[in-house]
């Protein structure tokens, strides 16, 4: 009986270790590609995309009245929970005139590899001209890239090498109605 108990504990420990070592780098890039990279022009678009991917917001829904103002000032935040664990979060801040607000869109996750993430960003998001930025801590990696067709948009990455290995990808742009 004691053998079964020890075997069960060993399996639980292995499952926990496997989950802790799970690399969510590809998931982070995929979520960013679907939510922020298309450069949504309206907060309701971000809300619809994020909700479809499993993100849940604690705030109320974005209404048409909120988006009809001459100047928009909307912050949408949501979190992604899977298997009872908070895996990531996202935020999008829209500020400025209705016909072209500035937008800051960020997706974050835990369990991300500081070594794998830059290559995935370059491959999946067609990012170019990487600039590695200095950090005050050797466990923190910062970089930025140019993205898009000559429009000067910059994508930024921040990733920690120490557990829980938090990382975020951010893009700032001027939204245009399509």
Question: Which of 50, 46, 90, 99 shows the shortest CA–CA distance to 72?
Answer: 99
Question: What residue segments make up the domains of the chain, in order of their start?
Answer: 23-174
pLDDT digits (tens, 9 = 90+) for 51-109: 999 999 988 889 888 888 889 999 999 999 887 788 899 999 999 998 889 999 999 99
Would you say the pTM of this structure is higher than 0.85?
no
Coil, strand, or helix at residue 6? Answer: helix
Residue with tokens 């103002």: 69
CB-based contact 157:117 (threshold 8 Å) = yes
Angle of the 25-35 helix axis to the 43-52 helix axis, nearest 10: 140
């Amino acid at each position: 009986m004691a053998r079964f108990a020890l075997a069960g504990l060993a399996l639980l420990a292995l499952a926990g270790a496997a989950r802790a070592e799970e690399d969510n780098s590809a998931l982070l890039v995929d979520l960013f590609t679907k939510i922020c990279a298309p450069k949504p022009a309206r907060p309701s678009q971000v809300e619809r995309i994020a909700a479809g991917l499993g993100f849940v917001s604690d705030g109320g829904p974005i209404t048409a009245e909120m988006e009809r103002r001459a100047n928009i000032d909307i912050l949408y935040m949501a979190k992604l929970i899977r298997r009872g664990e908070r895996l990531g979060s996202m935020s999008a801040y829209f500020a400025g005139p209705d016909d072209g607000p500035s937008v800051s869109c960020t997706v974050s996750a835990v369990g991300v590899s500081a070594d794998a993430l830059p290559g995935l960003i370059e491959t999946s998001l067609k990012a170019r001209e990487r600039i590695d930025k200095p950090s005050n801590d050797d466990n923190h990696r910062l970089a930025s890239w140019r993205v898009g067709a000559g429009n000067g948009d910059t994508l930024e990455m921040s990733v920690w090498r120490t557990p829980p290995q938090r990382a975020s990808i951010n893009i700032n742009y001027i939204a245009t109605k399509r």
